[in-house]
Amino acid sequence: RKEVEQDPGPFNVPEGATVAFNCTYSNSASQSFFWYRQDCRKEPKLLMSVYSSGNEDGRFTAQLNRASQYISLLIRDSKLSDSATYLCVAGGSSASKIIFGSGTRLSIRP
């Protein structure tokens, strides 16, 4: 079983919709969590960190549920430019071992 698991999608939603992704992690000792965005044939770029209290950045909200060992990303009022692959990340068996999920593909249609 992979340490970090995501639904690969694709999610195909209309512009303006709200979409949510979940990601589960297996290492209960993980301390750091992130969401990344990756465009086709480009490097991943940090979207946001995920904090225990939840955090928001504009249209994006990230949540962490330690009891159930999952993190989530909510995108409100989706734009065409949000089309990308979203990667969730959890610190692995040591704090410095950062493990990525396989990614969830999102496609926003006009």
Partner 1 sequence: NAGVTQTPKFQVLKTGQSMTLQCAQDMNHEYMSWYRQDPGMGLRLIHYSVGAGITDQGEVPNGYNVSRSTTEDFPLRLLSAAPSQTSVYFCASSLSSNYGYTFGSGTRLTVV
Q: Is 107 in the site for partner 1 (CB under 8 A)?
A: no
3-state SS assignment for residue 20: strand
* 3-state helix, strand and coil shares in percent for the chain, rounded to the nearest 5: 5, 50, 45
Q: What are phi and psi of 31, to 5 degrees?
A: -120, -20
Q: What is the rounded CA–CA span in Å between residue 108 and residue 83?
A: 5
The residue from 22, 27, 32, 72 that contacts partner 1 (CB under 8 A) is: 32
> Site for partner 1 (CB under 8 A): which residue of 39, 46, 56, 79?
46
Choices 13-21, 59-67, 69-77, 94-102; region in contact with partner 1 by CB under 8 A: 94-102
Please state the closest distance from residue 77 (CB atom) to partner 1, in A: 24
> Alpha-carbon distance 110 to 9, whole Å?
19
**Footprint on this chain of partner 1 (rule: CB under 8 A):** 6, 8, 31-32, 34, 36, 42-46, 49, 87, 89, 91-92, 94-103
